[in-house]
Chains A and B, each alone.
Chain A
Amino acid sequence: MTRSRSHTHETGVALPALLWVPAGFAFALIALPVVGLAVRADWLRLPELLLSTSALDALRLSLETAAISTTLCILLGGPLATVLARGRLGGLRLLRSVVLLPLVLPPVVGGLALLFLLGRTGLLGRGIDVWFGVTIPFTTAAVVLAQTFVALPFLVVSMEGALRTAGQRYEAVAATLGASPSYAFRRVTVPLVLPGLASGAVLAFARCLGEFGATIAFAGSLQGTTRTLPLLVYLERESDVDAAVALSLLLVVVAVVVIAVARPRGVEGLR
């Protein structure tokens, strides 16, 4: 493994000294708020605050919906990334820009857009309501849809990059060995881009876990059904700051665990 290689004897090229100052500020900007959170926390009340019914409900809901949304991202985003990277259609570039939309759109706008599409009077929502008697907004399904909406680009971008890096040379070799396109996709393409897929999935999961704007606009904030951890943090901030801080720390811990599990290839997947 290249990781274990020693760098003690490499001198390399020196960094410009000036870079250290802004780099230090940037790091502080990311790390210090978390420290501030930890300092502010009421550690004695922490177990009680975290084990409250509302907190446990929110944690369970957050983990469940994020897991389902990430799975949806893989099942839908993986094929989409493959089409974008390998397809030979006109207009794919336009399609790619559209796929990036949730990345740049304010999440709350995304949530409103979902509401106007799938709400009871929405473009598709009306039909779904009339034909199937199903209402999507303000249900757990809406939470999942909102999370999938915002997280999909992370998976698509990450996997499309991996597909482009891998190139099509291995698929060409597979074809000369008699492998049909679908066999080559399963046995060659997917294993080759698995690291990219994994890092995309981790990013998507983290994005789902932190999702707030689209969820509150499209799914509301009902305990046990649509009130995920970020929504609960926002709600508690008004009434019980200690609880909000405790829950925030919980989100920090979950995020750190995600990074730890995904390391090294997940979050640092660009190497």
Chain B
Amino acid sequence: MSGLAARIVVRRPSFTLEVDVAAQPGEVLAVLGPNGAGKSTLLGVLAGLLRPDDGTVRLGDRIVTGDGVHVPPHRRGVGLLAQQAMLFPHLTALANVAFGPRAQGVARQEAEERARELLAAVDVAELADRRPAQMSGGQQQRVALARALAPGPELLLLDEPLAALDVDSAPAMRSLLRRVVKDRKQTAVLVTHSALDALVLADRVVVLTGGSVVESGPAREVLARPRSPFTARIAGLDLVPGEACADGLRTADGLVVAGLSAGLRDGESAVAVFPPSAVAVYNSRPEGSPRNVVPVRLAAIEPHGDVVRLRAAAVAGGPAWVDGLAADVTPAAVADLGAEPGVELWFAVKATEVQVHAAG
């Protein structure tokens, strides 16, 4: 398993991409950014489909792009899973997955055996003899994932792999990616718009805006404490780490955050996620339906577009994990609450607003 280290400069009439990205062996790096930030250009350069104006791409101890060096895509060992499955329409699912190994000279029987194993690993073993036209979008994307893994790529590029899926098949594909990419320690670069994808799938995150990296760090930190406006807009999520349990998530201090945790095993490392807009703020402990009510001390008040973001810190003797949680309220509410840094408040969140995801 090899790591990735890339420094890339691409000059285009409209913008200049100038980035430095790296992924340790077995690590998943998420690249977040708005449209036109240069994400696809970055992937194109890593795959060898584009030549940068300047820079170096190092895979393991091989330089695949650099001074006068340009290893063509088919000799790089860089796999690609894009938004569209792009399965070869004239081949069955099995032949699609066996394509990579066959292209590298693996005997047909062995290639098909490997393809069958991979189709089973992505839960579509029964579709082996179907052609792409006879599969749903979600099924096609699973086969495409198996196909991308089949040649055993040193680096896997995931270009918004969930963006084209409908709301019903995206969550299943997300947990599948987690299982076959992250858990198997496949070095990967994931381009996405979704903070959730980055949180569930990636170890580290870089945020790309206007062609350069504006933020980078461990996924959970960057997404919970965004420093750039873009990250704040798409992420700025409230995250609570812990273990999955029947009612939601159990934090390190034993408190349960009630939430929806479909499909997780008890005790599995997880994170509870909810948007700051779902947090209601009270002066005194509220009586009512919200299942999650915690005392906090107000640490900071940040203007945030049309709303005001209240940033929490732990109160003495209260749960420590509230540190950094955010609540979005209207300016009028801030006045009504008499909120100023240092006061003690109560945050309340309905359990239905809290999603518990495997993470870490």
Contact = CB atoms under 8 A, between A and B. Distances in A.
B72 A177 contact: no
Interface stretch (B31-39, B86-94, B335-343): B86-94
A191 interface: yes
A175 interface: yes
B90 A176 contact: no
Nearest to A173: B86
A172 B73 contact: yes
B274 interface: no
A177 B148 contact: yes
B324 interface: no
A177 B150 contact: yes
A157 B331 CA distance: 66
Task: Pick the most buried of A173, A188, A191: most chain B CB atoms within 10 A of its CB.
Answer: A173
Contacts of A170: 86, 88
Contacts of B80: 173, 176
A192 interface: yes
A191 B90 contact: yes
A191 B96 CA distance: 13
Task: Pick the most buried of B77, B88, B148: most chain A CB atoms within 10 A of its CB.
Answer: B88
Contact of B73 (A176, A183, A192): A176
Task: Pick the most buried of B80, B103, B104, B148: most chain A CB atoms within 10 A of its CB.
Answer: B103
A52 interface: no
Nearest to A177: B100
A187 B86 CA distance: 15
Nearest to B85: A173
A238 to B, nearest CB: 52
B122 interface: no
Contacts of B48: 175
Given A170-B86, A192-B89, A192-B90, A179 B99 contact: yes
A183 B86 contact: no
Contacts of B150: 177
B136 to A, nearest CB: 18
B103 A183 contact: yes
Task: Pick the most buried of A170, A174, A177: most chain B CB atoms within 10 A of its CB.
Answer: A177
Contacts, number: 62
B77 A177 contact: no
A185 to B, nearest CB: 12
A177 B147 CA distance: 8
Contacts of B77: 178
Nearest to A194: B90
Contacts of A173: 80, 86, 88
B79 interface: yes
Interface string B150-165: 1100000100000000
B88 A178 contact: no
Contact of A180 (B79, B90, B103): B103
A88 interface: no
B103 A176 contact: no
Nearest to A191: B90
Contact of B49 (A175, A179, A183, A188): A175
A169 interface: yes
Contacts of B73: 172, 175-176
A174 B103 CA distance: 9
Contacts of A177: 74, 79, 99-100, 103, 147-148, 150-151
A138 to B, nearest CB: 45
A152 B88 CA distance: 29
Contacts of A183: 103
Complex A-B, nearest 5 residue pairs according to Cβ-Cβ distance, in ascending order: A177-B100, A179-B103, A175-B73, A176-B80, A191-B90
21 contacts: A170-B86, A173-B80, A173-B86, A173-B88, A174-B74, A174-B99, A175-B49, A175-B74, A176-B74, A176-B78, A177-B99, A177-B103, A177-B150, A177-B151, A178-B100, A178-B104, A180-B74, A180-B103, A184-B74, A188-B88, A192-B88
Given A172-B49, A178-B104, A188-B88, 14 more contacts: A169-B86, A173-B86, A173-B88, A174-B103, A175-B48, A175-B49, A176-B47, A176-B78, A178-B103, A179-B100, A179-B103, A184-B103, A187-B99, A191-B88
